[in-house]
Amino acid sequence: MKSLAVLHASQLVTVAGPRRPRVGPELSELGIICDGGMLIRNGKIEIVGSSAEIENHAGDAEIIDARGKVVLPGFVDAHTHLVFAGNRLDDFERRARGDSYEEIAKAGGGIWSTVEKTRAASESELLAQAQKHVDWFLRCGTTTVESKSGYGLTLEDELKILQVMRRLKQETPLEIVPTFLGAHAVPREVRADEYVDLVVNEMLPRVTSDSLAEFCDVFCERGYFDIEQSRRILNRAKNLGLKLRVHADQLSNSGAAKLAAELKAGTADHLEKIDSQGIATLKSANVQPVLLPGSVYALGSTCYPPARDMIAAGLAVAIATDFNPGSSPTASMPMVLSLACTHMKMSSAEALSASTINPAYSLGRGDQIGSLEPGKAANFSVFDCYDYRELAYWFGFPQAHSVYVKGKKAY
């Protein structure tokens, strides 16, 4: 593989720093190099520095001229539901008429309607649709996504979704981190307790013996899985060697954030309804919050999670798209940056750390991705602007110029 030399970026945003997630004022330290460059060999970053320094070492490397452009670490999207069939246009229309997420679910829409379509789809149909989703992520500058199952809700259908993720990982440039979310909803045909038994006794052992997931997640929420059921599933997952993430305190303050802390989960996600006690509990167990403003926006709510309180408490905040057909149909991390700044009062710099290095740590990959530093994978994007703050400022249209994964052009 030929070496690459990136030269003359108006800003090379390295996000270099300590070998751990960023907290407090560290979130604002981006390690920007003006007229910056990078030398890349065998898919890894070898040198990061001024363009003059890189030119000295470039030899016969292929040159990427980033003049007038910003170079950033590829976004790491730590919460997505990447694989599903169809869409939820009916829900979208109902919401526009004023119905709530819960009302729509009761009336036959919601997660269940996507489950029916996903069960009916073959593995190759799901793969074809998911390849389109992968393309959307890459075009927005995202190079790694966490991806949850959860629209199958039978052993067979959950395995089918996880197999699609495995194939996407092999067949597309996007790096995919699989999460088992069998406990996304209770399927219509069984009682809740029977379904929890199925997840614990059949699904989790099979998913782990086939090495199909790294993480286990549960939708811990009124009408989905309560604290006791969630605890049972997550404990079993942990015993089988999976790391934990939790959909917590999204629609109600159910104490799920506290459960995440009790079980030493890696992340607690959503947290729109968390209170100050919940925040303190997350801090005491070093759980990373993953905030999903795209779902607040798309549900037409104004209840954004209290990011400022979390940053003040010293939590290593991450932001993510929550890409899914129901509550957050976006693959755009720049849109999420815009929402984080406009509605959660994060600065552009904080939002950038929260979409690169912090989610990388939340996925157990902080030493490999999430910043532009020697030794890390050459996952980066080139944006058609002079200043990184323009990413969150201009909104609603694409600004990515090109995107590289392990030194190879992916868009």
List residues binding ligand NIG (CB under 6 A): 81, 110-111, 114, 219, 247, 250, 295, 322, 324-328
Nearer to ligand NIG, 7 or 104 (CB): 104
Distances, alpha carbon 110 to alpha carbons 90, 94, 148, 156, 176, in Å: 10, 11, 17, 21, 25
Least CB distance to ligand NIG at residue 64 (A): 36
The interface partner of residue 295, options being ligand NIG, Fe ion, none and the CB cut-off 5 to 8 Å by kind, is ligand NIG
Nearer to Fe ion, 70 or 130 (CB): 130
Q: How crowded is residue 180: how many other Cβ atoms within 10 Å of its Cβ?
A: 29
Say which residues have a Cβ less than 8 Å from residue 42's Cβ, sequence separation at least 6: 1, 407
Least CB distance to ligand NIG at residue 145 (A): 14
Question: Any idea what DSSP says for residue 287?
Answer: P
Closest by CA to 81, choosing from 200, 164, 171, is 164
Nearer to ligand NIG, 295 or 348 (CB): 295
Least CB distance to ligand NIG at residue 114 (A): 5
Tokens (6 digits) for 24: 């407090």
Least CB distance to Fe ion at residue 315 (A): 19
Tokens (6 digits) for 345: 């009062």
Chain positions 311 to 350 lying near Fe ion, rule: CB under 5 A, are: 322
The interface partner of residue 111, options being ligand NIG, Fe ion, none and the CB cut-off 5 to 8 Å by kind, is ligand NIG
Least CB distance to Fe ion at residue 369 (A): 21
Pairing of strands 44-50, 62-65: unpaired
Nearer to ligand NIG, 326 or 359 (CB): 326
Residue with tokens 């194939």: 167
Least CB distance to ligand NIG at residue 302 (A): 16
The interface partner of residue 217, options being Fe ion, ligand NIG, none and the CB cut-off 5 to 8 Å by kind, is none
* Cα distance between residue 380 and residue 407, in whole Å: 8
* Cα distance between residue 246 and residue 230, in whole Å: 9
Q: How crowded is residue 185: how many other Cβ atoms within 10 Å of its Cβ?
A: 22
Looking at the chain, how many residues does it have? 411
Task: Verify binding: residue 221, Fe ion, rule CB under 5 A.
Answer: no
The interface partner of residue 325, options being Fe ion, ligand NIG, none and the CB cut-off 5 to 8 Å by kind, is ligand NIG
Least CB distance to Fe ion at residue 82 (A): 11
* Cα distance between residue 262 and residue 243, in whole Å: 14
The interface partner of residue 143, options being Fe ion, ligand NIG, none and the CB cut-off 5 to 8 Å by kind, is none
Say which residues have a Cβ less than 8 Å from residue 125's Cβ, sequence separation at least 6: 85
CA angle, corner 28, sides to 22 and 30, nearest 5?
85
Lay out the site mask for Fe ion across 266-305 (x = CB under 5 A, - = otherwise): ----------------------------------------
Nearer to ligand NIG, 297 or 380 (CB): 297
Least CB distance to ligand NIG at residue 334 (A): 20
Closest by CA to 45, choosing from 27, 71, 22, is 71
Nearer to ligand NIG, 175 or 249 (CB): 249
**Cβ distance 238 to 266 under 8 Å?**
no
The interface partner of residue 177, options being Fe ion, ligand NIG, none and the CB cut-off 5 to 8 Å by kind, is none
Nearer to Fe ion, 322 or 350 (CB): 322
Residues that bind Fe ion (CB under 5 A): 322
